[in-house]
Chains A and B, each alone.
Chain A
Amino acid sequence: MTSTPLGSPEIYRLTVNGESHDVQDAWLGESLLYVLRERLGLPGSKGACEQGECGSCTVLLDGAAVCACLVMAASATDADIVTVEGLPTSEAAPLTDVQAAFLDEGAVQCGFCTPGLIVAVHHLLDHNPRPTALETREALSGNICRCTGYGRIFAAVDAVVASRAEQSAP
Chain B
Amino acid sequence: MPVITPSTVDEVLSQLGERPDALLLSGGTDVMVEINMAHRKAPAEVIALRRVEELRRWEHHTTPDGTGGTVMIGSGVPYAEMEHGPLAEHFPALAEAARTVGSPQIRAAGTLGGNLGTCSPAGDGLPVLYALDAVVHLRSASGARDVPVGEFMVGVKKNVLEPGELITGVTLPVRRGWQGYSKVGVRNAMVIATASACLAMDRERGSVSLALGAVGTTILRCRDAENWLAAEIALTDAQLEIGDDVVREFGQRAAADARPIDDHRSTAAYRGHAVGVLASRLLRRAVA
Contacts and interface: CB of A to CB of B under 8 A. Distances in A.
A38 to B, nearest CB: 13
B266 interface: no
Interface in B181-203: 188-190
Interface stretch (B100-108, B160-168, B171-179): B100-108
A22 interface: no
Contacts of B78: 64
A7 B43 CA distance: 11
Nearest to A144: B190
Contacts of A53: 103, 190
Given A52-B105, A72-B32, A139-B104, A77 B189 contact: no
B104 A51 contact: no
B103 A141 contact: yes
- Central interface residue in B32, B35, B46, B102, by most chain A CB within 10 Å: B32
Contacts of A52: 29, 32-33, 102-103, 105-106
Contacts of B37: 50-51
B105 A28 contact: no
B190 to A, nearest CB: 6
A128 to B, nearest CB: 11
B102 A142 contact: yes
Interface in B1-44: 1-7, 11, 15, 25, 27-29, 31-33, 35-37, 42-44
Contacts of A77: 5
B189 A75 contact: no
User: Which of B6, B11, B78, B105 has the most CB atoms of chain A within a 10 A radius of its CB?
Assistant: B105
B50 interface: yes
Contacts of A138: 104, 189
Interface string A132-151: 00000011011110000000
Contacts of A143: 103
Given A1-B5, A29-B43, A65-B108, A71 B28 contact: yes
Contacts of B7: 1
A3 B4 contact: yes
Interface residues of B, number: 38
Contact of B105 (A6, A27, A31, A142): A142
A142 B99 CA distance: 12
A67 interface: yes
Interface string A1-34: 1111111000000000000000000011101000
Interface string B85-110: 00000000000000000111110110
Interface string A55-95: 10010000011110111101111110000000000000000
Given A58-B105, A65-B104, A70-B109, A4 B5 contact: yes
A75 B105 contact: no
B33 A70 contact: yes
A120 B106 CA distance: 13
A29 B2 contact: no
B2 A4 contact: yes
A139 B80 CA distance: 12
B189 A70 contact: no
A31 B32 contact: yes
Nearest to A4: B3
Contacts of B103: 52-53, 55, 141-143
15 contacts: A2-B4, A7-B1, A27-B42, A51-B37, A52-B33, A52-B102, A53-B103, A65-B105, A67-B105, A69-B36, A70-B27, A70-B29, A74-B46, A141-B190, A144-B190
Top 5 A-B residue pairs of the complex, sorted by shortest distance between their CB atoms:
A142-B103, A75-B48, A29-B42, A141-B189, A3-B2
Interface of B: 1-7, 11, 15, 25, 27-29, 31-33, 35-37, 42-44, 46, 48, 50-51, 78, 80, 102-106, 108-109, 188-190
